[in-house]
Amino acid sequence: MAEYKLQVSTGDMPSAGTQDHVSVTLIGSDGESEKTELDNFGKGFCTGKTGTYTVKTSPSLGKLLLVKVEKDPYLHFPEDEWYCSTIEVTTPEGDAILFSCHRWISRGEYVELRGGRAMKFLEDDHPLLIEHRKKELTLQKSLYQWKPLAEGLLHTSSFEHESELPDEIRFSKAKTDEMHDATKRLGMKFKSKGMVGSIEKWENVDDLKKLFNFQKTAMSEYVAEHWKEDDFYGFQFLNGINPTLIKRCSELPPNFPVTEEMVKPFLAEGSSLMSEIGKGNIFLYDQKKLEGIPTQVYNGESLTVTPGLCLFYLNPENKLMPIAIQLHQQPSEKNPIFLPSDLETDWLLAKIYIKNADMLDHEAVHHLMNTHFMGEVYTVATLRCFPVIHPLYKLLFPHFKSTLDINIRGREGLMGPNGIFTLSSAGIEGMTEIMRRSLREMTYSSVCLPENIAARGLESIPNYYYRDDGLKLWSIINSFVRAAVEYYYPSDADVCKDTELQDWIREIFTQGLLSNKASGFPSSFHSIEELIRFITMVIFTVSVQHAAVNNGQFDYYYWTLNAALLLHKPPPTTKGQSSMETIMETIPNVGETVAISLLINQLSGKYSGVIPLGQYPEKRFEEPELTQMIQEFQAELSKLGEEIAKRNSQLEVPYDYLHPSRIENSVSI
Ligand code: FE2
């Protein structure tokens, strides 16, 4: 008689345990055990507990290949789902094999677990495992299907509602409740003051400050104090919520005829625009891709989105100062170049229009499309193309947890018929067009931070904390990915021969990039180096980059004068005609402001179940080498966290969006 010892772990989330009967069948190369109920004559399968059981077979089963798990009803009680974390089996030969499960199991479900070391397609040599692998992928491909987001846009999963998702990739009930509560609480406060749906205008700046009676952060209050200041305006293009747009300017664009005379007063004494360009101190923000996009029709009038240009000067105090703004691409008398020396409200309005365009681009492209939706492309491709035993599934899956759930909610909450984009100056149609144009222009190098920084000429600009922290995080992720990839792919030939991996990257290229070769994204892999770079980019995008463009939404957007999602009036075409009254008439009204505030409050909230970058609470790898790599990854992140905290303690405006403890492992909010 051969004995197999099983250690069965139940998850520690609420309701993970079950009263139902749990049985297993062990399947080996020389036969299979009988279906054996796991019963220790007491309460088993309690939340957070591990139980030990024995399965007896007459001869040994040979090499243990699969564990089949079944759950049957206890008496006539209703369905009682069970979250099985892992089953560790010790064979009669003394081998300990990890079968990771990490999923909810319902009655009648067909669950067969693979165990042991992570295996690539060609490494499976037993017909039963080859067949199992094939069946698993067929099932996954029927569950996770692609659907175009809109004409000319990348494809996402075909799920219409989060309730269609398997429970293990959905938000926990606690998180869903907390998100609803956060919105409801703030909504009630606004409602009690008659602000929800109000079409009243804000009377003045002090009137707007009453927002802080309902909700605030230290940074949102700082923004309200400093929004008018040029150096804080420039700072936001480096360390605000959309930090990857400005470029070093080596030559003025011909359609932006800024003259020496115009900007001389704002440069260092005795200097000139040409010499500052030569020294690399001039930077450009150019929103030409917004030219001619559809805009929202508001009270019968089309709103304006400005495809503006803004010139920045890095002054001798190392402050990045806006020195000239043109709100449309084609210079004309009706399209003057605004200067800091203009009437204060003219200059403020010009800056407000640039920030409005920036906010639209940020939310539609840099936040939603580049992190959430591209993250979904990587998620769906992974779920469809890799079986759970594949090393890259084990490596990547923790970085995709909850992404489908938040994106399904996000599609409704942002792009749906009542979504917040309907409120924006661009409207749904315009926001979709911004995404469409941006996808056509998206390049692989632009989503790889080191190349992105170099291409924009921002390697040496001082006080660029997004770059400083981001590059260190890129390097830490890259070292971890290199160690793991080189462990599983000893040669380039192993990369080329992995047909599941090649299917994965092909799906990403066709479904995400719509087969656009000009993007430079790979459509196949030929070397270990290519693979390391791509996996680094994927993990960086869904963790670090998402944190950079997500976490500060409330801080920077609550004060609508700093950044408004819609502007009611057309931008000024002449100078000297504006006043603070013009500005208050231009920004969102009370009802619009609170509607936007409710969303950014929810998206910047802190909820339970957060898994920070580099934490892998679900044990998936059996190999001790991987445990060691993960520990080193965590140690490097922790060291960086200390450095960032030390640096931030000396800054007037700390940059903590990329503190590793604030970065989630996956796009989850
Ligand atoms: Fe987000």
Distance from Cα 333 to the centre of ligand 1, integer Å:
41
Distance from Cα 407 to the centre of ligand 1, integer Å:
9
Nearest to 14 by CA among 468, 551, 609, 448: 609
CA distance 209 to 579: 19
Residue with tokens 């500052």: 276
Residue with tokens 């719509």: 514
Q: Transcribe 460-492 into DSSP letters.
A: S-TT-HHHHHHHHHHHHHHHHHHHHHHHH--SH
Nearest to 412 by CA among 187, 191, 162, 152: 162
For ligand 1, a single-atom ion, the residues with CB < 5 A are 550
Q: What percent of the chain has pLDDT over 70?
A: 100
pLDDT per residue as tens digits for the range 316-363: 999 999 999 999 999 999 999 999 999 999 999 999 999 999 999 999
CA distance 471 to 451: 10
For residue 5, the surrounding DSSP H or E stretch is strand 2-10
Name the β-bridge partners of 87: 8, 99
Distance from Cα 652 to the centre of ligand 1, integer Å:
26
CA distance 470 to 449: 7
CA distance 560 to 524: 45
Mean of per-residue pLDDT scores for the chain: 97
pLDDT per residue as tens digits for the range 562-621: 999 999 999 999 999 999 999 999 999 999 999 999 999 999 988 988 999 999 999 999
Nearest to 83 by CA among 100, 97, 64: 100
CA distance 104 to 57: 28
Over residues 630-644, the mean pLDDT reads: 98
Give the pLDDT score at 41: 79
- Say if residues 558 and 211 touch (Cβ distance below 8 Å): yes
How do strand 31-32 and strand 111-114 relate by DSSP bridges? unpaired
Nearest to 349 by CA among 42, 624, 586: 586
153's tokens? 């846009």
Chain centroid, CA 542 distance in Å: 4
CA distances from 212 to 35, 188, 497, 546, 563 (A): 63, 15, 59, 26, 16
Nearest to 347 by CA among 196, 185, 229: 229
| Predicted TM-score of the model (pTM) | 0.97
Distance from Cα 287 to the centre of ligand 1, integer Å:
23
CA distances from 58 to 89, 128, 433 (A): 17, 21, 67
Distance from Cα 546 to the centre of ligand 1, integer Å:
6
What one-letter code names the amino acid at 92? P
CA distance 361 to 393: 32
Q: Please state the φ and ψ torsions of residue 111, each to the nearest 5 degrees.
A: -125, 115
CA distance 101 to 239: 41
Q: 472-494: string of b/e by CB count within 10 Å (b at 16+)?
A: bbbebbbbbbbbbbeebbeeeeb
155's tokens? 């494809």
Distance from Cα 668 to the centre of ligand 1, integer Å:
7
pLDDT reading at 144 higher than 80: yes
pLDDT per residue as tens digits for the range 75-100: 778 889 999 999 999 999 999 999 99
Domains contained in the chain, CATH given? 2-116 (2.60.60.20)
CA distance 285 to 123: 51
* CA–CA–CA angle 333, 285, 660 (5° rounding): 155
CA distance 667 to 601: 17
Instruction: Give the confidence band of 410 by pLDDT, cuts at 50, 70, 90.
Output: very high
pLDDT per residue as tens digits for the range 181-230: 999 999 999 999 999 999 999 999 999 999 999 999 999 999 999 999 99
Distance from Cα 219 to the centre of ligand 1, integer Å:
19
Distance from Cα 124 to the centre of ligand 1, integer Å:
38
Instruction: Give the confidence band of 74 by pLDDT, cuts at 50, 70, 90.
Output: confident
Give the pLDDT score at 232: 98
Distance from Cα 128 to the centre of ligand 1, integer Å:
42
DSSP 8-state class, residue 446? G
510's tokens? 């066709």
- Say if residues 3 and 56 touch (Cβ distance below 8 Å): yes
Distance from Cα 550 to the centre of ligand 1, integer Å:
5
